[in-house]
Structures are given as C-alpha cells and as structure tokens.
Structure 1
C-alpha cells in the first residue's frame, strides 16, 4: 500500500525548502534540465513559493526560456492546466 502524501496548507516554506527544487536532475531522455526543474517546481510549489523560486532559478543562471525536444517552453507545457494562470504570470514577470 502506498503511503499517502501529506498535504501541507498554510505552513510557510523556508528558503532552503524552496531552493531544493534547483537540485532536481533531468531524466536521461534528452529533456532540458532547466525545463525539467521549472516543471517540477510548478508541480511541487504553491504560487507564491513558485514566484520566490524563480528568483533563485534566475540567480543560478538557469534558462527561463528552456524548451523540450518538441520546442515547447514552460508556458506551452502548462497552459492547459486549470491552475496555470498565476504560474504563467509569474514566469512572464520573471522573464521581463
């Protein structure tokens, strides 16, 4: 039986907890590491924590415009997700 993932709502994340997403390694299928890091952070962080993460992402010299093997960037990959709007706004702001 799989363990349930405990959802933490309302507890603030520390900077170290947000930065841990920078250490994600891309799969060996040729996926852009930078894009994989962004998507993993999107899946694991709340909106305001994702905004904070983007500052660390940029400071680490990672590419906000990274694409997958089909040429899709972060926005293209998440655009059809129901809660994507705030994340798209955050990355567009970070790109500016």
Structure 2
C-alpha cells in the first residue's frame, strides 16, 4: 500500500503555522501546556521552536508543566542526543529541569 503523503523536509514555517501550535490540546488528560510544548518540540526545527517558545510565554503558558510521569519537556529534551539546542532554548526562556 502506498503512503498518502511524502515526508516534507525543510518545510518553511510561517509565524501563523508556528502560532497554530498554541491551539494543540491533549486528548488523554495530560496538562495542555506540557502537551503543546512537547508537540512543538517534536515538530519544529530549533529556530521555529525558539519563536514558538516566545509565543507560548506571551500567551501566559507554563514552560515547567509536566506530563503524567512528572517530567517536564526540558527533562525529556535533555535525554535526546540531538536535543541540546532545544534544551538551551528552553533554559534561556526560564525552564528548569526537574
């Protein structure tokens, strides 16, 4: 069976597209701030993520929100081999590891 859509690499993200992640909601009872920040991290390049974090904070969101396991997005990002740049973005914005 053929895939419906090819993976897009180096897609250009507009500010509206980045900002649209502020509408992401969890469907499993997870903290909304944690869920939207994690989805942004999983979906965006570092420069786009940095802009998203600014929008996220301007919207009054919590960078230190945790998932059901008690870990923050920073805690998760720090475990990833290629997460250093994202972790630094979060730290500079005021996130703290648990």
| TM-score normalised to structure 1 length | 0.87
After the TM superposition, which residues 28-43 of structure 1 pair with which residues of structure 2 at under 5 Å, given as runs? 28=28, 30-43=29-42
Q: CA RMSD in A?
A: 1.6
Name the CA distance, whole Å, in 1 between partners of 2:34 and 2:6: 24
| TM-score normalised to structure 2 length | 0.85
Once the two structures are TM-superposed, the CA of residue 26 in structure 1 deviates from its matched residue by: 0.8
Structure 2: which 5+ residue stretches go unaligned? Answer: none
Once the two structures are TM-superposed, the CA of residue 67 in structure 1 deviates from its matched residue by: 0.8
Alignment length (residue pairs) = 94
> Helix, strand or coil: the match of 2:75?
helix
Name the CA distance, whole Å, in 2 between partners of 1:72 and 1:39: 11
Q: Which runs of 4+ in 1 moved over 6 A?
A: none
Once the two structures are TM-superposed, the CA of residue 76 in structure 1 deviates from its matched residue by: 1.3
> Helix, strand or coil: the match of 1:95?
coil
